[in-house]
Every structure is written in structure tokens, then in C-alpha cells.
Amino acid sequence: MRTVNIHEAKTQFSRLVDAAAGGEEIIIAKAGKPAARLVPMERVKVTRRFGGLKGKIRIADDFDAPLPDDVVAAFEGR
């Protein structure tokens, strides 16, 4: 665990964040007294469940059918 003052933390912020991301804990001190702690984020493991929306979404049979000519003309600015 490393302790740095606020001025050093401001000037070396990117390096301190990299160190914290690597697992190091850093204490930021103000006037020699600990004021904050920079620690690595906990990784959240996302569990994906395939088929979770089955039966909840319906896609029309003509979903990919060509658009009517008037709609195509509107998109093309005609």
C-alpha cells in the first residue's frame, strides 16, 4: 500500500490508476492525513442465459419485405 499526497496524485493520476487496476491499493493524503483510497474495481461476471426472451418478442413475417414506393421516395428525398 502506497501513500501519496494530493499534488502528486493530481500530477501522476494516470499512473496511479494503472497501478490500482493492477491490484495495488493507494492512499491519497491531504496534509499528511489519509483522505481517500484508490483501489481496483471488482470484476463483475455477467452470466448470459440464452433464450431468455423466447416468447416475449415477435417479428412480423413481412419484416424484411421491400418498403412501399412512397416510403422509399420519402427516405430518398423525392
> What are the backbone dihedrals phi and psi of residue 13, each rounded to the nearest 5 degrees, phi first?
-55, -45
CATH code, domain with 27: 3.40.1620.10
In a domain, residue 61? The reply is no
The total number of structural domains that make up the chain: 1
Residue 45: what pLDDT?
87
Whole-prediction pTM value? 0.55
User: What is the residue range of 16's domain?
Assistant: 2-38
Give me the count of residues in the chain.
78
pLDDT digits (tens, 9 = 90+) for 28-78: 999 999 999 999 998 888 888 898 888 999 899 999 999 999 999 999 988
Is residue 19 classed exposed, middle or buried when 0-12, 13-18 and 19+ CB atoms within 10 A define those classes?
A: middle
- Mean pLDDT (whole number) for 15-27: 95
